[in-house]
Amino acid sequence: MLLVVIGHPLLYFTSLHSGRAIYYWIYLFHMPLFAMLSGYISRNFRATPKQVQRTVSTLVIPYFIVEPTYQVLHRHYTGHPDPYMLLSPQWVAWFLAALLIWRLSTPIWRNLRHPIVVSILISLLVPLTEVPNVFALPKALGMLPFYVIGMHMTLDRFERLSAMRVRVTSILFLAAVGVASWLLSNQWTLSWTKWRHRYGEDPLSAAPAHGMAVRTVLLLIGILMCFAVLSLVPWKRSWTSPLGERTLYCYLLHGFVVLLLAQQTHVFAGLRHMDGYGLALTIIGAAIVAVLLMTRPVERVFRFIFEPNLNWLFSPTQTLPK
């Protein structure tokens, strides 16, 4: 969650080599890791009444609150008379839409013979054609393998990742990818890590074979980086554990903080002129904002919006007439 919050303001620093390298390194794995963890958490989804109510409460309702609000603010600050597209998420709400698609499709992936292989083929082939951005469908299908892999993770497999030799290898691998990001970030467009563009369209402008090759590399690196990060996560409960239970609030609210700071105060433009010092201050500030947005007072204020009680909306379980 810290990397998510840090990553968004870093977009304003991609003109700096250091900012671009850090941005690229983060985007290689941070949302794939969210998708993988979401797959693990949703692996037992069977559309029971309780599960459906929870899905509507934490995904559907927040989506239709956050996305319209963001589009209204975006139109206000840009002045562009763009039409409102409530089913076409433009920023952070895309993950809510994608998770809804993934979760509803969970029974399919549970019953296929080779679900991971099928999900990878879908991810590679989807950018060959035009897919509308309804509920972030291009990104949902592009990042589908991470979700499906997460579905097939178990506590035993997570524990194997915590072996000391795996952890040492993970540190070396993450450092190597960091060095590669520093050296090569100017040679690859950042749009590859967005998982939403067709191969042949701008800014990718890649031939089908080249596009599939690049996405294959991104899938491989993303999967390995996810496992590397998971191997380094401590198993003991600490002061950060309660914060991690409130990531939904941080995720949904931090986008508005970044948007208002960028458009209302132009603080990132000023920090960018400070070069490395401004970049460091932005990263520290973003981390502080993330922690604050995961505190209990924030949960208390926004719980009725982002996790509403919908008992009044759903009827008790009933058997449909034959």
The predicted pLDDT at position 321 comes to 55
Within-domain flag for 275: yes
How far, CA to CA in Å, does 159 sit from each of 40, 78, 233, 271?
Answer: 14, 48, 10, 42
Is 315 a domain residue?
Answer: no
Closest by CA to 230, choosing from 148, 163, 293, is 163
pLDDT of residue 318: 55
pLDDT at 50: 92
Domain that holds residue 195: 2-306
Proportion of the chain above pLDDT 70, given as a percent: 98
Q: Encoding tokens for residue 10?
A: 């870093």
Highest mean pLDDT among 63-67, 231-235, 240-244, 309-313: 63-67
What pLDDT does residue 317 have? Answer: 61
Task: Please tell me the pTM assigned to this model.
Answer: 0.93
The verdict on residue 319 lying in a domain is no
- CA gap 193, 215 in Å, rounded: 9
Q: Tell me the C-alpha distance between 288 and 1, whole Å.
A: 12
Residue 321 DSSP class:
P
How many Å from the N-terminal Cα to the C-terminal Cα in the chain? 47
Residue 252 lies in a domain: yes
Residue listed under structure tokens 């998770």: 99
Within-domain flag for 318? no
Lowest mean pLDDT among 17-21, 97-101, 163-167, 264-268: 264-268
CB 40 within 8 A of CB 150: yes
Flag whether pLDDT at 252 surpasses 60.
yes
Whether 314 is in a domain gets the answer: no
- Is there a domain that residue 313 lies in? no
Q: What is the mean pLDDT of residues 165-192?
A: 93
Q: How many separate domains does the chain show?
A: 1
pLDDT tens for residues 32-81?
999 999 999 999 999 999 999 999 999 999 999 999 999 999 888 887 77
Q: Summarize the confidence of residues 194-221 as an average pLDDT.
A: 95
Per-position DSSP letters for 113-154, written without gaps between them: SSHHHHHHHHHHHGGGS----GGGHHHHHHTHHHHHHHHT--
Q: Mean of the pLDDT values across residues 94-121? A: 96
Q: For residues 268 and 291, what is the distance between their CA atoms, to the nearest angstrom? A: 20
C-alpha 230/C-alpha 252 separation (Å) is 23
Tell me the angle at which helices 30-41 and 17-27 cross, rounded to the nearest 10 degrees.
20
Whether residue 236 lies inside any domain: the answer is: yes
Task: Tell me the pLDDT band of 319, cut-offs 50, 70 and 90.
Answer: low
DSSP at 12: G
pLDDT at 235 over 90: no
Question: pLDDT class for 195, splitting at 50, 70, 90?
Answer: very high
